[in-house]
């Protein structure tokens, strides 16, 4: 494989779009608003920004750089950079396993979203009362065939794009879906300005009320910083390996983090403008987009427009993230076993569909089966987000800032950074602050 020419993006912009597509996902539109709501608003947003810079960006830079220097999939890159000690490939293995497992349950959620989009298109919410709308999600849970149908649609879209390859599949579709997503988000935002909840939403998101902040919210912010930037799964290693030339990795990492945060905030403004236009508690939690918003959409004028656009937006963000996760596994199988991409993609798709279907069954036929007290679906989520991903990220940042020699590690990644202050600050974070913070959430998560 080494002497074959490696696939590349057509440009660094292509890479940025694909990486942003991966990072911007359900985490931004579904999770960010509800954890901000639950943690009191503005003050949490500031803590979150600090976590993005101190925890997210260093791991992001480390992953992109390891992929770019290692020129391989997420396992091979670690090995190529440190030929004498194969321990560090464990970071790649954990990422790879997370990618496979996350994909299985992420696609199930992707299926629910397409289901909600279809219901929006058919204007279903308009004719329902609150109790009926609240009943949609439980109804979906109890219907394995309907879920399997939408899981298949979502999986087929993901597989269809990834099998076309890096340039013609992932890059091209991100170039279409990302601008589309931004347009839909701005359309929604423009309409939200006319809702009575618009200014209260701004105040809620940006007014820092420190009294609402506690220790648990800080942990939540670290965990989310990590999730929202898609680190710990090997996506950024795999994507970084398709970069043609070296670049200023810190600038790229910071830009990605800012774009991701900016879109999360815009989504937050949209969601809370709706929430505050009606007397709804901002802290309802995970059901925010599957119950609260459809109820609102059924009541506001222009609700049809809002709900069709909103679920379209969410479908796009879920899809651009899921293709990035699938690519991690496809790149590994394709390169390690030297099989055609098309075959690799279909094989993996079949495997993750089976695991996804088990997730579906864990809501109904198999809901009595638990693993360590969790349903199968929750177990996959906990195993990956509380264990595999933080360990993978911790190994990555230690490998990058302590293990690799200067010409291959953190100093080399900073080659194109001119400011001494930024360099020193980044090295200090990567060596001390980031590993310590990851270790903290890892231990507390256990």
Binding site for ligand TRP (CB under 6 A): 22-23, 25-28, 227-228, 230, 233, 235, 321, 324-325
d(CA 42, CA 243): 37
In the bound complex, what is the minimum distance in angstroms from residue 324's beta carbon to ligand TRP? 5
Please identify, using beta-carbon distances, which residue of 315 and 321 lies nearer to ligand TRP. 321
d(CA 374, CA 365): 15
In the bound complex, what is the minimum distance in angstroms from residue 30's beta carbon to ligand TRP? 8
Other C-beta atoms closer than 10 Å to the C-beta of 161 total 23
E strand or H helix that includes residue 357: helix 341-361
| CA dihedral over 273, 275, 278, 280, signed as positive or negative | negative
Q: Find, among 161, 69, 52, 154, the residue nearest to 108 by Cα.
A: 154
Please identify, using beta-carbon distances, which residue of 19 and 410 lies nearer to ligand TRP. 19
Structure tokens at 133: 């709308």
In the bound complex, what is the minimum distance in angstroms from residue 234's beta carbon to ligand TRP? 8
Residues pairing with 374 in the sheet: 371
Please identify, using beta-carbon distances, which residue of 52 and 360 lies nearer to ligand TRP. 52
Please identify, using beta-carbon distances, which residue of 75 and 233 lies nearer to ligand TRP. 233
In the bound complex, what is the minimum distance in angstroms from residue 1's beta carbon to ligand TRP? 24
In the bound complex, what is the minimum distance in angstroms from residue 384's beta carbon to ligand TRP? 8
Please identify, using beta-carbon distances, which residue of 19 and 133 lies nearer to ligand TRP. 19
Please identify, using beta-carbon distances, which residue of 175 and 299 lies nearer to ligand TRP. 175
Please identify, using beta-carbon distances, which residue of 23 and 57 lies nearer to ligand TRP. 23
In the bound complex, what is the minimum distance in angstroms from residue 25's beta carbon to ligand TRP? 2
d(CA 182, CA 259): 11
Please identify, using beta-carbon distances, which residue of 136 and 325 lies nearer to ligand TRP. 325
Distance of CA 14 to CAs 22, 67, 328, Å?
12, 16, 17
Please identify, using beta-carbon distances, which residue of 27 and 223 lies nearer to ligand TRP. 27
Structure tokens at 279: 């007397």
In the bound complex, what is the minimum distance in angstroms from residue 225's beta carbon to ligand TRP? 11
Other C-beta atoms closer than 10 Å to the C-beta of 223 total 22
d(CA 261, CA 61): 17
Q: Which residue has the tokens 């939540």?
A: 220
In the bound complex, what is the minimum distance in angstroms from residue 177's beta carbon to ligand TRP? 14
d(CA 406, CA 20): 29
In the bound complex, what is the minimum distance in angstroms from residue 426's beta carbon to ligand TRP? 22
Residue 278: alpha-carbon gap to chain centroid: 29
Distance of CA 422 to CAs 16, 404, 414, 427, 442, Å?
21, 20, 9, 9, 27
Q: Are 249 and 21 contacting, i.e. CB atoms less than 8 angstroms apart?
A: no
């Amino acid at each position: 494989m080494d002497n074959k020419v490696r696939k590349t993006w057509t440009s660094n912009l292509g890479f940025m779009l694909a990486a942003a597509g991966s990072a911007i996902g359900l985490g931004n539109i579904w999770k960010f608003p509800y954890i901000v709501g639950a943690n009191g608003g503005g003050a949490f947003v500031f803590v979150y920004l600090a976590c993005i810079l101190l925890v997210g960006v260093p791991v992001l830079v480390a992953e992109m750089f390891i992929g770019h220097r290692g020129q391989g999939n997420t396992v091979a890159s670690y090995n190529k950079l440190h030929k004498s000690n194969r321990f560090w490939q464990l970071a790649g293995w954990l990422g790879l396993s997370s990618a496979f497992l996350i994909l299985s349950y992420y696609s199930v959620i992707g299926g629910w979203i397409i289901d909600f989009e279809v219901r929006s298109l058919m204007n279903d919410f308009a004719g329902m009362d609150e109790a009926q709308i609240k009943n949609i999600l439980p109804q979906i849970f109890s219907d394995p065939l309907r879920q399997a149908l939408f899981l298949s649609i979502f999986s087929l879209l993901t597989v269809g794009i990834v099998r076309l390859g890096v340039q013609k599949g992932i890059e091209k579709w991100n170039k279409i879906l990302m601008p589309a997503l931004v347009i839909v988000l701005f359309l929604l935002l423009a309409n939200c300005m006319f809702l009575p909840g618009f200014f209260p939403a701004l105040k809620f998101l940006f007014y820092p009320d420190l009294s609402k902040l506690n220790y648990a919210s800080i942990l939540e912010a670290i965990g989310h910083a990590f999730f929202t930037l898609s680190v710990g799964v090997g996506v950024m290693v795999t994507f970084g390996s398709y970069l043609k030339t070296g670049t200023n990795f810190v600038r790229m990492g910071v830009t990605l983090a800012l774009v991701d945060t900016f879109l999360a905030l815009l989504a937050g403004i949209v969601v809370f403008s709706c929430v505050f236009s009606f007397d709804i508690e901002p802290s309802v939690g995970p059901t925010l987009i599957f119950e609260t918003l459809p109820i609102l959409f059924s009541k506001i004028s222009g609700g049809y427009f809002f709900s069709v656009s909103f679920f379209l937006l969410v479908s796009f963000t879920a899809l651009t993230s899921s293709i990035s996760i699938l690519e991690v596994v496809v790149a590994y199988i394709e390169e390690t076993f030297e099989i055609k991409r098309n075959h690799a993609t279909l094989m993996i798709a079949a495997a993750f569909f089976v695991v996804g279907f088990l997730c579906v069954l864990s809501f109904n036929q198999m809901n009595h089966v638990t693993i360590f007290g969790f349903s199968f679906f929750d177990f996959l989520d906990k195993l990956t987000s509380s264990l595999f991903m933080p360990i993978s990220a911790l190994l990555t940042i230690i490998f990058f800032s302590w293990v690799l020699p200067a010409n291959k590690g953190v100093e080399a990644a900073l080659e194109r950074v001119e400011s001494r202050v930024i360099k020193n600050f980044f090295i200090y974070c990567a060596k001390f602050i980031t590993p310590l913070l990851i270790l903290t959430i890892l231990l507390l998560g256990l």
